[in-house]
Amino acid sequence: MAERNPLDIEEVKQRARKREPVIPMEQVPDAVRAIRCDIIEMIAKAQSGHPGGSLSLAEILVTIFSQKMRFDPSNPEWEDRDRLILSKGHGVPALYATLSWLGAIPREELWTLRQAGSRLQGHPARALLPVVEASTGSLGQGLSIAVGMALAGRLDHKDYHVFCVLGDGEIQEGQVWEAAMAAPKWKLSNLTAILDYNKGQLDGFVRDIMDIESAAAKWRAFNWHVIEVDGHDPTAIAAAVDDAKTVTDRPTMIVAHTVKGKGVSFMENDMSWHGKAPNEEQTKAALAELGC
């Protein structure tokens, strides 16, 4: 597996506990590239998984975790931590790789993805791995849990922030809109959702399967503060989170336009890479292109 210059975890911890950037913004693209390398290697080793929707997520997760999250990699139960729920649970290789980079999962454990007995289940399993905030994978459920976490923060007068990452195909699920209706009722400005709008789902392009357009207008109509960004631009993602935190009377939805399979040209916008592992030759090509 590719060697990697690891972060100083003590330093990460000290900064992240204060919600300070754990690396300078200009280093985020490099970190993203390394996460993409891990995603390919994990899925290749497991010979199963979802590369397309994991690769599209990399900038979103790395930017939020490295720049905007308050957390403690050694204490996933810390009451004051910011929370991030990956509602599109099939993108979890990107989350495992990011958490491992930040010292919350041992690096060698990444290569156990999807194996019998591993804590790194094919979709996140909180009971096995508490650093993931919720077991997800049945699409449509994560935002409701995020609403509950944000409500609990309100009740306890805590200033933690709750993030929830949804897939674009995922918002075809009705439960998402139940949660979309609920969050503004309590003016949950401590909740920010991010839509990984990679335009694809298992059976094809979202626009052909069940179009979600106009996604931004839909969320606005549900009384969310909506920001549209290029989901592969870390600076724009970070700015959108800052913007979200200035809003005090409603939750925010960041519609992040992304490319499914981003970074590996033969996977980009090819829906056959939604849920299949690369073979040996394809793995080599992908890793070479990513510069792993």
Partner 1 sequence: MSSAAQTTNGMAIVPEQKFSMRGAYGKALVELGKTHPELVVLDADLSSSTKSGLFGKEFPDRFFQMGIAESNMIGTAVGLASSGKKPFLHSFACFVVGRFEVIKLAVAYNESNVAITGTHVGVGIGEDGYSQMGTEDLGMMRALPNVICLQPADDVEARSAAEFLMDYEGPSYMRITRQNVYRVHDENYRFELGRGEVLRSGTDLTLVASGAPVGYSLLAAERLSGLGISVEVINMASIRPLDGELIAESARKTGAVMTVEDHSVRGGLGSAVCEELAERYPVPVMRTGLREFGGSGTEADNYRIHKLDVDGITDNARSFLEVIRNKA
Q: Please report whether residue 134 would count as binding partner 1 according to CB under 8 A.
A: yes
Nearer to partner 1, 21 or 148 (CB): 148
* Residue with token string 């949660």: 179
The H-assigned helical ranges of the chain are: 9-16, 28-46, 51-55, 58-63, 92-101, 142-155, 174-185, 206-210, 215-221, 234-246, 280-290
List the interface residues with partner 1, window 67-106 (CB under 8 A): 79
Residues near partner 1 (CB under 8 A), total: 32
Q: Closer to partner 1 by CB, 65 or 160: give it.
A: 160
Are the beta carbons of 170 and 176 closer than 8 angstroms?
Answer: yes
Examine residue 181 and tell whether it contacts partner 1 (CB under 8 A).
yes
By C-beta, is 146 or 287 nearer to partner 1? Answer: 146
Using alpha carbons, list the distances in angstroms from residue 269 to 86, 144, 204. Answer: 22, 29, 10
Query: Which residues within the stretch 145-164 sit at the binding site for partner 1 (CB under 8 A)?
Result: 145-153, 155-156
Nearer to partner 1, 175 or 269 (CB): 175
Shortest distance, position 34 Cβ to partner 1, whole Å? 30
Using CA atoms, how far residue 249 sits from 16, 135, 226, in Å, is 26, 29, 13
Is residue 133 a contact residue for partner 1 (CB under 8 A)?
yes
Stretch that binds partner 1, among 10-18, 133-141, 196-204, 268-276 (CB under 8 A): 133-141
Looking at this protein, which amino acid is placed at residue 272? Answer: S
Query: Under a CB-based contact definition with an 8 Å cutoff, are residues 115 and 45 in contact?
Result: no
Residue with Cβ nearer partner 1 (113 or 191):
191
Please measure the distance between the N-terminal and C-terminal CA atoms of the chain and give it in whole angstroms.
9
Footprint of partner 1 (CB under 8 A) = 79, 125-127, 133-138, 140-153, 155-156, 174-175, 178-179, 181-182
